[in-house]
A and B are shown apart, each in its own frame.
Chain A
Amino acid sequence: MSELRSYLDLGLLAKVPPIGTSLRIPTSVGIAVSLAAVGAMFLLEGGWLVGVATVWAVVIAGTDVDASSLGWLMPPLTRVFEYGLVIVVALEADISGPLLFAYLGAVAYHHYDVVHRFSVLGSGPNWLLGAMLGGSGVRSIAVAVAAAFGVLPVWLVVAGIWVAAVGVAESVTTWSRAPRHPLGSSEESIS
């Protein structure tokens, strides 16, 4: 998987034909749909949000980000939709603040891990892509479904603990076994 595709955090959807393999949606369409989806989440609720999240998940998985010079806009836009959606539905459902923050923190840990591992370890094992509950797309659909059925608090607790536990445990064990090769000068970290 290419580096930008990895940064999209598509989970196994990236490898499911035909969505992840042969849709080849132009980046301009991917960007437009992402922006429209971000706008829609402030206007819609319930089942409509499930629809928006589903269409968005399919489009980001099918977008050919490597074919455009603006493809790099897609990973940050994907973060805007996923995190924004959680905040919007949590506000509507009156979710406890610490729970909202902890769930987003767990997802954020995984997202930073995707970036840090790429240059040294590649895009990560298949089981991890599945374990992260299907990446940004499927996690967002799940959040929209949980909100529509009124079980958002339970879902955020269960999914948050799972993503944090698997994400941290996997990255710590992998990195502690990783080759301690010297750092190239091009790998200066972004702070």
Chain B
Amino acid sequence: MPTGSTEERLALAVKADDGFFTTFFVSSYSPRLVLRLAKWGVSPNAVTLFSMAVALFAAAGFSWGTRTGLVIGAILLQVSFTFDCVDGQLARFTGVSSSFGAWLDSVFDRTKEYLVYAALAYGFVRTGGDPAIWTLAAVAMSLQVVRHFVLFSYNVPFTSTQRGRGETRGFVGWLRAIVPFPIGERFAVISLTAAFTNPEVTFVVLIAWGLVALVSTTSGRVVRSLS
């Protein structure tokens, strides 16, 4: 069991380098959820599974393709994402982080995201949309895999600069955290564009922002590895 007061341990359970959306729209209230779940004795892996199950219902809503389906999918995706952040915080808070749990969490993260892409494309075609949307979905997924591999591979020879705890970010600091398009921002884009516009817009935004993020993170790392 980790040491320190409950408040200190809760604060430490929140990742230091979370994105803008995660920090302000999830981690602002998630510690309360963590406390409650810890009191009930719920395991982090159970939370991971619950988050995956909710994402399956979100995908079902998206694949329905109607406005109602898209709105339900958008809301459930945000519920799923909240519990996705909570599982890791709960694991760190209760001191039961494991490599198996990290694997489960990571595999489900990818599965959720790409399942939602497929569901959006399926629902779009089902309601009379152009089947070419599947190409957009395939490009969006491929781009995200490439972006993940820039981060994975760079971290092999170099350690990415981790923000220290308690360090506050200014405007530029937050901008630098938002441009790389982390998972909280991606899921927010998916929910907002799916609920208010249509899946075609979702993929166009995912691809456009993803390309900007790819160019900025890759060029920055090339410069750093040459200096």
What residues of A have a CB within 8 angstroms of the CB of B218 in the complex? 73, 76
Chain A residue total in the interface (Cβ 8 A) = 48
Q: DSSP class of B's interface residues: helix, strand, loop or mixed? A: helix
Contact A104/B101 with A4-B153, A4-B157, A70-B222 known, Cβ cut-off 8 Å: no
Interface string of B1-36 (1 = CB under 8 A from A): 000000000000001010000000000000000000
CA distance A83 to B165 in the complex (A): 38
Nearest CB in chain A to that of B133: its residue: A97
Categorize the interface residue count of chain B: 35 or more
Q: A7 CA to B107 CA in the complex, in Å?
A: 17
Contact of A153 with B by CB under 8 A: no
A175 to B102, CA, bound (A): 11
The verdict on A191 contacting B183 (CB below 8 Å), with A75-B153, A111-B149, A181-B98 known, is yes
B174 at the interface (CB under 8 A from A): no
Q: Is the CB of B149 within 8 A of A75?
A: yes
Q: Which of A53-61, A112-120, A122-130 contacts B (4 or more CB under 8 A)?
A: A112-120
Most chain A CB within 10 A, of B135, B148, B152, is at B152
The CA of A105 and the CA of B115, in the complex, are separated in Å by 9
| Chain B hits for A101, CB < 8 A | 117-118, 121, 134, 137-138, 141
Stretch at the interface among A18-26, A42-50, A142-150, A182-190: A182-190
The B158-214 residues at the A interface (CB cut-off 8 A) are 158, 162, 182-183
* Contacting pair B98 A80 (CB below 8 A): no
A116 to B42 alpha-carbon distance, docked (Å): 25
A contacts, CB < 8 Å to B: 3-4, 7, 69-76, 79-80, 83-84, 87, 90-91, 96-98, 100-102, 104-105, 108-109, 111-112, 115-116, 119-120, 171, 175-176, 178-183, 187-191
B contacts, CB < 8 Å to A: 15, 17, 88, 96-107, 109-110, 114, 117-118, 121-122, 125, 131-135, 137-139, 141-142, 145-158, 162, 182-183, 218, 221-222, 225-226
